[in-house]
Amino acid sequence: MCTMISRRNFVLAASGAALAAAVPRRVGAAGTKTNALKIPQLIKGSPAANKVYQLGIADGTSKFLPGLSTPTCGINGAYLGPTVRARAGDRVTMRVKNDLTEPTTLHWHGLHVPARHDGGPHQVINPDQIWDPSFEIRQNASLCWYHAHLNEQTGEQVLRGLAGLFLIDDDASDALHLPTDYGVDDIPLVIQDRRFNADGSFEYLSNVGDIELGYRGDVILVNGTVAPHLELQRQRTRLRLLNGSNARIYSLGRADDAELVVIGTDGGLLERPVRTRRVRLGPGERIELLLDMEPARTVKLMSYPASSGGMGMMGHGMGVDNETFQIIEFRAGRLEPAAVSIPDRLIQVPQWNPVQAARTRTFTLDMTTMSMGAMVGPAMDGSMGINGRSMDMDRIDERVPLGSIEIWKIANMTPLTHPFHIHDVQFRVLDRDGGPPQPYEQGLKDTVLVDPGSTVRVIAEFADFADPDHPYMYHCHILEHEDAGMMGQFVVV
């Protein structure tokens, strides 16, 4: 079962541990036998007028390592959940049944929905309870996802398997003739890292680094598959990647150093394809790639040490995520040729002019302690917070006028990189320390990496849903940091 662990109790218990004990073990192993990639089930909802999706949350048992069984949680299965597929304009009802022995939630990450249906910490689903939020899909074609978001328990429940993908289609994306045959040339890739105990169970919160640095594993899973490979059937394949890890940041690239072709990010397609050798993907972020495969070839997607963002040898902060390891291997099968060339232009991405912004809000990401000693920072009731305050379920931190366009300035005051996520909206990244964002960051996004000592500005419009009684969240998407208090609440009024 999903064991509940209080983040405040963990901080107290782990406060005397040494940071050196928290350094993750080496990722991956040379010569590991590969396994065929599992593809999550696709569900499209029924009936057509008001699509109903049945999602059952329950305990399960999974086999990741030879000869060992792992207690897990899943949605419509033992581990992870099905891929939900809907279209812009659809009216959908998500009928979620909790068959666990403890409460949980399901947050629709990246979806623009009313706050009372957002699935954050306030929309608790108790054991044996059914929660059935209903809403209209009001956004562009995009790769979103859903995951547990229980207050102070998000990291542990997501680690056990409570997450899945949410695909949205629309007419504009259909007209581009991109690959859309799910599981054939449209491939979902949920990337996670895990550690295992000797008995096969997941190892979690076993050292102070799990909460201070965020949990990192030494085994990579893709769709719950260890050391995966996939035999491709089409010359051109669309890869939809989610960083579903609790804390690890991936620096993705091909082993042959060929360029990646990026066509989309969190909130949908880019205006033009972007060719780059590296893509940095933080927890909660998504990226869409096109892979053109030649016959009898093998392509390995890797994660490399970080070397950008002004971090130098410190990588993503404190020297973490600086290893090289394989994510997945793609093999050319009998390839059907691509029907059309890759379009030069994709879609028109919404733009907001900074001069339209009614207000600029500043958010500082704060930590007060690490294992090497106290840090300079504000006095908070927990070890982590935003604007000097740890998360409080009874406190509304910001009130945003309905229909307003705002700039949010996120300043990282810590020695770690943090992925900052805003519920309800998709935003545009304006700049990083006054300079332009990466080309592949210039579409719509809901999560952005903020490096140590840096400031990122984003702009968004808060449209459609006003509700003074039901808040949305903004938080670090390192789940252990979120659970430790690096989260705040806003209402649209």
Residue 320: its pLDDT value, please? Answer: 82
Q: Which parts of 382-486 are beta strand (E)?
A: 384-386, 398-400, 405-412, 418-422, 428-432, 447-450, 455-461, 472-476
Residue 318: its pLDDT value, please? Answer: 63
Residue 15: its pLDDT value, please? Answer: 39
Q: Are the beta carbons of 213 and 416 closer than 8 angstroms? A: yes
The CA distance from 238 to 251, in Å, is 19
Residue 374: its pLDDT value, please? Answer: 55
Residue 382: its pLDDT value, please? Answer: 75
Residue 16: its pLDDT value, please? Answer: 36
Residue 314: its pLDDT value, please? Answer: 41
Does the predicted TM-score (pTM) go above 0.85?
yes
**Residue 31 neighbours by CB under 8 Å, 6+ apart:** none
CA atoms in the 13 A half-sphere facing the CB of 85: 14
Place of tokens 């030494």: 218
CA atoms in the 13 A half-sphere facing the CB of 108: 30
CB atoms within 10 A of CB 322: 16
Residue 19: its pLDDT value, please? Answer: 41
pLDDT in tens, the chain (493 residues): 544 444 444 443 333 333 433 444 577 654 468 999 999 999 998 877 789 999 999 999 999 999 999 999 999 999 999 999 999 999 999 999 999 999 999 999 999 999 999 999 999 999 999 999 999 999 999 999 999 999 999 999 999 999 999 999 999 999 999 999 999 999 999 999 999 999 999 999 998 889 899 999 999 999 999 999 999 999 999 999 999 999 999 999 999 999 999 999 999 999 999 999 999 999 999 999 999 999 989 999 999 998 643 333 344 666 688 999 999 999 998 888 887 899 999 999 999 999 999 999 999 999 987 654 556 567 677 789 999 999 999 999 999 999 999 999 999 999 999 999 999 999 999 999 999 999 999 999 999 999 999 999 999 999 999 999 999 999 999 999 999 999 999 999 9
Residue 30: its pLDDT value, please? Answer: 43
| Dihedral sign (CA 45, 186, 57, 90) | negative
The CA distance from 109 to 491, in Å, is 17
- 3-state SS class at 117: helix
**Residue 58 neighbours by CB under 8 Å, 6+ apart:** 73, 74, 99, 100
Asked if the peptide bond before residue 47 counts as cis, ω within 30 degrees of 0, the response is yes
Which domains does the chain possess?
7-15+31-174 (2.60.40.420), 186-336 (2.60.40.420), 354-492 (2.60.40.420)
